[in-house]
Structures are given as structure tokens and as C-alpha cells.
Amino acid sequence: MKYKHILSRTWGLCWGVWVYANPAIEIAPVPAPGSPVRFEIVGPTNLFGAGISGRLLIVLGRSSEPEPREHIGATGMDAEPVAGFDVREFRGLSIPVPTNAALFPQRDWSEIPSGTYHAQAVLMTNRDLRLPNAPGNFFSKPQEIHLDSTKQIQVRLNLDRQLPAEKMPADTDGVRYLKFESPRLTLFHQRPMYLRAAVTLPTGWEQETNRQYPLVIQIGGYGTRFYDAGPLESRSPDFVAAWRATTGPRFIHVQLDGSGPWGDPYQVNSANNGPYGDALVQELIPYIESHFRGMGNARGRFLTGGSTGGWVSLALQTFYPDFFGGCWSGYPDSPDFHAYETMDIYEDSNAYINRFGFERPSKRTRYGEVEFTVRHECQLENVLGDGDGYTGSGQQWGAWNAVYSPRGADGRPLPLWEPKTGKIHIEAVRKSWEQYDLRLVMERQWKTLGPKLQGKIHIWVGDADDYFLDGGVHRLDFFLKTAKPRSAARIEFGPGQRHGWEPRNWSQLLTEMQAVVEKKEQAKESTKEPGGK
């Protein structure tokens, strides 16, 4: 989940014939009436060779530092204006930016307030990491421009810069950064695909060479990268205290990576992202346990995270109940699609308009005011996504759709709703989405799943969650309280608490996990024959 978040259609036959005969000549089209600016994109031909395709973005920053491209993805009516359109086989010659290119947060260029801006172009070409600033993407130097609704200007942006290849962070004292090719993901995508993680070792790990440690596997909020864990000293005081302690629970911490071909892959198997769940439990975790002396069994593997990480930790525990020893899941993305934020995907007909005929909210303040709507967020995602569609945006709604939906005939995720109108087409994707409706999965499989999840589920959420995530948790809570056999799940609701509410610190969290380790150790000991091993 988020913690957050120009060519006329025809230019005239003569112009087209002239450019075709003179392909090296850089000409921009006449802007549409009312448009204060027309852009053209050029680039060094030696960078683009036979041609490169991707999503081209134009962002107007209010300052040049940090560069405007760093702000792409922000929501709200005060977000930096950004436009997007597809390019095919760009060779560095002039590309006029369509005046009807998808735009955010305004609907038309004439609505952008007059003033000084810093324009920058980004060409997204990285297929493996759907990020504006992913390695290999091209970008221009920010260029200062002045927009005036009474005048029209022409701006040329030169894509003469390229982000360098990925460079792994250097290991630090107690922190190791991992990247290795995943056989399963490579086979699925038919190109090399990698798993990444940050591993934080407990105090004494290097000296206690005969000791094995349990793992606490953390998944961050939407799009959290593995390197966001950072050096130990840069983390929260309670985390540092827990990991530097010489007494008490001692765990290996694993920070997973929240980026993939369609945005955050949510660490589960899906028709579009591929077998991320199997790659995690059959490749990454065994690798970490074998190289860093993990315990190597379910009583030594625990999951935690908030928001996106809340859903992922709960989903992994549900999908791999025998592999993990418990999940501690905070304010999870909806575990019940009858409450997909404020949407009931099975009954509602529109993602943008609710059943009362009003714009559907997506984020609220502590006091209930609407900060932005689903339509507003998807307007941004339609700018970032190929084909002017949120499904390829790499942002929140697009990533959910990529995880939950089947793959279409064109190789893209089938959309739950139409990008422009919000009309929901549940029957086209229902069977696939139901596989990720965690409450429904539990309900349908509880006879066999319930005993395996006994006492393993711990969830908390604020009753004033910014993104309305409390609704889905209430629905799951109702099921778990009435399920037979009983679930022994612990679900906590914080009155008046918002997104990000944490009822316990790291030391308390590890203490609860350690109690599970010790309880299972004691159970194992009690089954031994006298004098047995």
C-alpha cells in the first residue's frame, strides 16, 4: 500500500511528407489551441542505436534540486505536473510530445498555472524494475521554462543522460546485501531475473559460529527497496537497540525487495509477475539460512510488515502455512475484497463512483476529510502506464491488478476496471482475484488450513486508517472469530489510530516471536525418549 502517493492528432499531409523525406530535421507541431507549451524530445543517436521503446514522461518541477524526476509518483493537486505517452523505436531524432498526452494532476496543459518550472524528460525502458529512476532509463537535464497562458513557447528536451547499471550497496558492519539470479523467475520471464535482500545479523553472530538463529522476514510499505534498510545505525532507535542487545532474543533480519516488472510483486506467485512466492521459499530463504546459519525450519521463520508488508506477511503465512512459524501483520492491504479500500469488487459496478453516485475516496485525514480519490490516483497511474492505462503504471493500483489478475492475450494484466471510466469487469477476472482474497481462501480451505494456522496470525490496524484498510480487517476478524476449528488469531484495532499505527516496538515483537521458538523447542524436547538425541 502507498504511504503516500504535446502534437495535435493531425499535422497536415504536406508536413508529414516533408518530414518523411527529411527524417533528421527536428520539427515540432503546432500546439493545440490554449496550450501554452509544445515539447519536442531529441537524443544522441549513438545512445539509441536501432531504436528503443518505452514510456516517455515529461515532468515540470518547481525547482531543479532535487531533480523533478525524483517527484514522479506524488499525488495531490499540488503534485508536480507530469505527462506521459508511449514511444516506439526511438532513435534520437525529434519526437513531438502529443498535446493530448495523458496529464496529471491537471486535465489539460492550459490548466497548469503560469510560472517558472524546470522541465525534465524521462524515458522508462527498464523491463525488470518498473520505476522512473530504474537503472538504464534515459533522462534529460532539467531546463528552466516560464509558462504564460497568454503566450506559447517551444521547449526541446535532450535525452542525453542514462542512469547507470545497478550497483549493489557495500556491505557494512552487520549488514549484508544480496543479489542472485532466480532460476524460477528467469524461466518464467525468459531473461535473467534477480532476487535481492538486505540481511542484518545480530550482535555476536561472527563469534558464535555454532549457533543457529531464527529469521524475521520483513516486507515494507509499497515499493520499499531492499537497500532502504540502510546501515544499522541509520534505523529506528528501537530496532538498533534490539539488534545490538547482548541478551534477549537474537534474530537474523531479512528485508525483502519491493520492486518488479509491474511494480511491487507482493512476494506471491502470480500470472503476470511470475513465481515470486516459490522463489522466496525455495530459493532466497534457503540461501540465507545456509549462508548465515539460520535454523532452517518453520519454528525459526517469522514474517512481519506493515501496509503492503502487512498483506504480504499474512498472504505468505496463508499460502505457505507449514513453512512459516507466524506472521505479525500491521494495517494490511485488504484481506477481503468485499472491502477493497471502500470498494466491493464483487458487487460494485464502478471503481471511481460509489453506489451512492459520489466520487470514491481513497485517502482520508484523521478527521475524515477526503485527501484524494481513486479516480485521482488512477489519473496519475494512467500517465505512468503504457497505453495510458493504470495496469502498467508500476504504482499501487496497477501493482495490485498485476498480482491479482490473469494475463491477457497481449501479455499484459487484464484490468479489473476500465482505466478512463472506472467501469468494473469482475466476471473477466473473478476466478483469478478470488485466489488472493485471503478471507475467502481461508473460508474455503479452513478445514485443512485452520489447524495449520493455529496461533500464527497476529494483525493490527487503526480504526481511522488513512486508506480505509480497517474495513477488510474487520471482515476477516468476523470470520476468524466464528471459524471452526478455532483460529486463536489475535486481531487488534486501535481506536482513532491511523495508517502506520504500531502497538509494540521491535524488542516486544521479537520477544513474542522468541516465545514461539522456545515453546516449540520445549515441545520437541518433551517428545524425546529418555537419553535420546
**Domain chopping of the chain, boundaries:** 13-162, 175-336+437-526, 338-434
Q: Give the contacts of 229 (CB within 8 A, at least 6 positions apart).
A: 175, 198, 200, 235, 253, 255
202 has a pLDDT exceeding 60: yes
Residue 99's pLDDT band, with cuts at 50, 70 and 90, is: confident
Reported pTM = 0.91
Classify 175-336+437-526 by CATH class: alpha beta
Query: 435-479, pLDDT tens digit by residue?
Result: 999 999 999 999 999 999 999 999 999 999 999 999 999 999 999
* Percent of all residues in the chain with a pLDDT value above 70, rounded to a whole number: 91
* Cell reading at 18: 516533408
24 has a pLDDT exceeding 90: no
Residue 410 CB-half CA count within 13 A: 8
19 has a pLDDT exceeding 60: no
Query: How many whole angstroms from its chain centre is CA 101?
Result: 25
Query: 376-410, pLDDT tens digit by residue?
Result: 999 999 999 999 999 999 999 999 999 999 999 99
CA dist., res. 284 & res. 186, Å (int): 14
Give the chain's count of helices (H) and strands (E). 13, 22
Residue 34's pLDDT band, with cuts at 50, 70 and 90, is: low
Query: 237-248, pLDDT tens digit by residue?
Result: 999 999 999 889
Q: Is 4 exposed, middle or buried (0-12, 13-18, 19+ CB in 10 A)?
A: middle
Give the CA angle between residues 36, 38, 41 to the nearest 5°.
155
Nearest to 247 by CA among 528, 517, 510: 510
| pLDDT recorded at residue 524 | 55
Nearest to 193 by CA among 270, 127, 288: 127
Query: 239-295, pLDDT tens digit by residue?
Result: 999 999 988 999 999 999 999 999 999 999 999 999 999 999 999 999 999 999 999
135 has a pLDDT exceeding 60: yes
Q: Is 257 exposed, middle or buried (0-12, 13-18, 19+ CB in 10 A)?
A: buried
Task: Please provide the average confidence, as pLDDT, over all residues in the chain.
Answer: 91
Query: 425-436, pLDDT tens digit by residue?
Result: 999 999 999 999
Topology adopted by domain 13-162: Immunoglobulin-like (2.60.40)
| pLDDT recorded at residue 20 | 29
* Residue pair 216/479 in contact by the 8 Å Cβ criterion: no
34: left (phi over 0), alpha (psi -120 to 50) or beta: left
Residue 27's pLDDT band, with cuts at 50, 70 and 90, is: very low
Secondary structure of residue 359 in the 3-state scheme: strand
95 has a pLDDT exceeding 90: no
| pLDDT recorded at residue 142 | 97
CA dist., res. 214 & res. 158, Å (int): 51
| pLDDT recorded at residue 26 | 34
Query: 493-533, pLDDT tens digit by residue?
Result: 999 999 999 999 999 999 999 999 998 665 554 444 444 33
Angle between helices 438-452 and 308-319 (to 10 degrees): 50
| pLDDT recorded at residue 451 | 97
